[in-house]
Amino acid sequence: MSEPPLEEFHSHRLLVAVDGSQASELAVRTSITAARRDHAAVTLITVVPDVVVSAGWSVAADPVALREQAEKEADSLLRRMVERLPPDLPVKTIMRHGKAGPEIVAHARERGDYDAILLGARGVGRVGALVGSVSSYVLHHAETTVIVVHPPREQR
């Protein structure tokens, strides 16, 4: 008994996690290729980590100010990324708060119609912490296809 022929993967809606790192930029570039080929829409998501002020921090560390600054940086990151995308590409942006992995998965579940989640293998951007543990979390908890991109060694 022969197996059916393999078909191409097609997407209509892509969720792409961004944090300002080279790995997340590669995920965005990968989404551009797929979106153009399939006429898909792209949603960029970034997650602002919760601000925790420990007893060791200076009294001047205002949690509200720290959160506002993190939100400004996340908003700036999303705006810069949108400006760099091809103008014919349908794109939306989402900003969430909390831990990156759970928030990415939660948004994808709430929305329920993404064909794939794309993210970098490791990120160390100023806005968030899309690190190896985040990609691992998303791989193990997402209910849709997950594509983890890894920049070549010379680009890290």
Per-domain residue ranges of the chain: 11-52+63-121
* C-alpha dist (Å) from residue 78 to 18, 38, 62, 97: 8, 23, 24, 14
List the one residue out of 87, 89, 76, 85 whose CA is nearest residue 128: 76
- Reported pTM: 0.86
Euclidean distance between CA atoms 145 and 115, whole angstroms: 6
Whether residue 43 is predicted with pLDDT greater than 90 in this model: the reply is yes
The domain defined by 11-52+63-121 carries CATH number 3.30.1360.200: no
Determine the average pLDDT of the residues in 53-72. Answer: 73
Confidence of residue 127 (pLDDT cuts 50, 70, 90): very low
- Mean pLDDT over each residue of the chain, to the nearest integer: 87
Euclidean distance between CA atoms 126 and 21, whole angstroms: 8
Confidence of residue 132 (pLDDT cuts 50, 70, 90): low
